[in-house]
């Protein structure tokens, strides 16, 4: 077990060990730390976005924060920091390459951030998160875009159509690695577009993205 990760020298090595231990590897795992880390990341990134984009509206800041702390974004940070190499997994997850799985990488990053907070306090934790997200927050300038669900909703509303309905089609896998299939149903255009993702929300966004393309095609052909 490394004595430090994310550039933080842990005074309490047991916190680091717990943060890197997936639930498949033992009872003392990182699930509780992940819960705390999720709240810390959301707060610190929200503060960072608020400071960096003084002219952004509440909706724009909400969308930007959501994109920065999404599972895919957190997993990307984890890969940059080579966290996957240090994760402790059970035999099953190890065999299926769990150290590369997006959800496991994201959850472990959150657990590590919580561990830094418990080990050293607020300021070192805040400084760490800001360092990890600095280039990503800066790169978002001029790219605060609406998510597919919001864009689709506004497009339909502007033309007097009913809002889309998102139906859960299926959910598969164990609790820690579940995937979801949904359908975006738009009666006005007789559309039922599929979406797949690691969470129901992600699957709905994927379905909305497909539906948005189809709706625009219908409108352009009229």
- Enumerate the active-site residues: 38, 110
Query: Residues of 65-90 as b/e, b for ≥16 C-beta within 10 angstroms?
Result: bebbbbbebbbbbbeebebbebbbbe
């Amino acid at each position: 077990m490394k004595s430090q990760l994310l550039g933080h020298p842990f005074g309490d090595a047991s916190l680091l060990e717990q943060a890197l231990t997936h639930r498949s590897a033992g009872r003392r795992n990182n699930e509780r730390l992940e819960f705390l880390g999720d709240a810390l990341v959301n707060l610190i990134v929200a503060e960072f976005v608020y400071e960096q984009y003084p002219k952004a509206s509440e909706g724009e800041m909400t969308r930007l924060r959501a994109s920065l702390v999404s599972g895919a974004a957190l997993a990307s940070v984890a890969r940059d920091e080579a966290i996957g190499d240090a994760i402790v997994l059970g035999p099953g997850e190890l065999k299926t390459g769990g150290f590369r799985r997006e959800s496991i990488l994201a959850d472990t990053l959150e657990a590590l951030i919580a561990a830094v907070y418990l080990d050293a306090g607020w300021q070192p934790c805040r400084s760490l998160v800001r360092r990890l997200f600095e280039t990503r927050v800066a790169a978002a300038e001029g790219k605060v875009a609406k998510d597919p669900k919001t864009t689709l909703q506004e497009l339909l509303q502007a033309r007097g159509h009913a809002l889309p309905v998102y139906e859960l089609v299926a959910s598969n896998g164990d609790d820690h690695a579940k995937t979801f299939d949904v359908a975006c149903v738009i009666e006005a255009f007789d559309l039922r577009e599929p979406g797949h993702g690691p969470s129901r929300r992600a699957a709905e966004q994927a379905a909305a993205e497909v539906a948005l393309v189809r709706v625009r095609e219908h409108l352009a052909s009229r």
